[in-house]
Amino acid sequence: MQTLSNLPQITASHLVKSVNLNHHGTLYAGQMAEWVVEVGFMTARAALRCDPRRLVCIRLHGMDFRRSVPSGETLVLEGRVVHVGRTSLSVHVAAHLVDHPPGEPFPTEGFVTFVHIEEGRATPHGLDVAPPEEGEARRLWDHILEERKRR
Ligand SMILES: CC(C)(COP(=O)(O)OP(=O)(O)OC[C@H]1O[C@@H](n2cnc3c(N)ncnc32)[C@H](O)[C@@H]1OP(=O)(O)O)[C@@H](O)C(=O)NCCC(=O)NCCS
């Protein structure tokens, strides 16, 4: 059995360019969501080491936009697995500026959940992870389970 902390984490950086902006001239939420899903997918796939065709996104959740991101900034997105079920896997993605001021909230945080499929149906992915016992990792694990009850 593995632990969450042994699973690979994925980091991706993006230069925010004019093509990524909304009508306010700051980063477009749809673009941010795409980058969050991308990092989530790469993180999930690195953990499962599976064929990319075996993974589908079932939920993009808890995504908050707390600060706008101006053009020209470098945005760094970090993905880590926070919950592993029988067929599913949830990734937390935090997006911050490369020169993020200490103590400032991240511009965006959110979760992406993927399901391992075969012929279009959920199938066990085979990754066995013990629930963390305490701390932030345990809080996030329970948070995902609580959210599922409300779906
Ligand atoms: C992924 C899919 C095959 C799952 O089918 P399903 O019959 O709903 O699957 P199940 O009910 O067996 O659930 C599978 C897993 O997903 C979890 N799950 C189901 N609905 C969920 C939701 N709304 N949010 C989070 N997790 C969810 C279940 O808890 C289960 O996890 P576990 O096995 O780790 O405990 C189906 O929902 C699907 O094809 N969705 C479309 C995917 C897609 O096209 N994505 C691209 C979006 S544009």
Q: What is the pLDDT of residues 44-85, one digit of tens each?
A: 999 999 999 999 999 999 999 989 999 999 999 999 999 999
Question: Which residue's CA is the closest to the ligand 1 atom numbered 8?
Answer: 122
Q: What is the pTM of this model?
A: 0.96
Cα 72 to Cα 15, 60, 69, 97: the distances in Å are 6, 26, 9, 11
Q: Which residues lie across from 97 on neighbouring strands?
A: 75
Cα(49) to centroid(ligand 1), Å: 19
Instruction: Please report the pLDDT score of residue 101 as a whole number.
Output: 80
Joined tokens for residue 138: 């345990």
Q: pLDDT class for 151, splitting at 50, 70, 90?
A: confident
The domain of 54 spans 4-149
Instruction: Please report the pLDDT score of residue 1 as a whole number.
Output: 86
For the chain, helix (H) and strand (E) counts, in that order, are: 2, 6
Domain count for the chain: 1
Ligand 1 neighbours, Cβ below 6 Å, are 56-59, 85-88, 113, 115, 117, 121-122, 148, 151
Q: What is the CATH number for 39?
A: 3.10.129.10
- Where would I find the H helices in the chain? 29-48, 135-149
